[in-house]
Amino acid sequence: MLTKFLPSEHVKTIFDVKAKALKERGIKGIITDLDNTLVEWDRPFATPELIEWFQSMVDENIKVTIVSNNNKDRVEAFAAPVNIPFIFRARKPMTMAFKQAINSMKLRPEEVVVIGDQLLTDVLGGNRLGLHTILVVPVTQSDGFFTKFNRRVERTILKKLKQKGMIQWGD
């Protein structure tokens, strides 16, 4: 049961995910969360550094799709200026939006990674489809109401994963 919450990788920030390394592993697509993965949950637009990261993916022919549980207005306002396809109200960890993103990128599951800051939505959803999952440290420590609840549950799961020796990295 705990393995469903175990990410394939853990990195500090989205910027630790490098396009060339992904390409060398045969990765052609990224499904990424938005809030507290790419930017703070209350930041409306991409930072210059993030725009540069998106461009590094484009330069290596790696497609990016944002899959967010947030509403259309929030996700579209962020994604449209940077020309990134998106799926809103994804209902993660349900798998429908992940499948939709894979299909829209015209890729096979083994060519896609999922990047997110939450075990209960991003990692669980990606793992349910057997995708490679990358957990990032949240961009900020403040969260929306529902995410605060998820974080409490995640701390318990992380503690159990650590006790069982399934993870070696810090909280």
Parent domain of 43: 2-163
The token pair that represents 143 in the structure block: 């969260």
Answer yes or no: is pLDDT of 27 > 60. Answer: yes
**Per-residue pLDDT at 146:** 64
Does 44 reside within a domain?
A: yes
Could you report the per-residue pLDDT of 155-165, keeping only the tens digit for each? 888 888 888 88
Residue type, 51: I
- pLDDT value of residue 169: 67
What pLDDT shows up at residue 42?
85
Residue 40 in domain: yes
pLDDT band of 123, cuts 50, 70, 90:
very high
Provide the domain count of the chain.
Answer: 1
Confidence class for position 55, pLDDT limits 50, 70, 90: very high
Note whether residue 170 is domain-resident: no
Q: Which of 13, 41, 10, 40 is nearest to 158 (CA)?
A: 10
pLDDT of residue 152: 79
Region of 26 (left: φ > 0; alpha: ψ -120 to 50; beta: rest) is left
CATH number at residue 91: 3.40.50.1000
Is position 168 within any domain?
A: no
Q: Residue range 4-30: average pLDDT?
A: 97
Q: Is residue 169 part of a domain?
A: no
How far is it, in rounded angstroms, from Cα 142 to Cα 20? 32
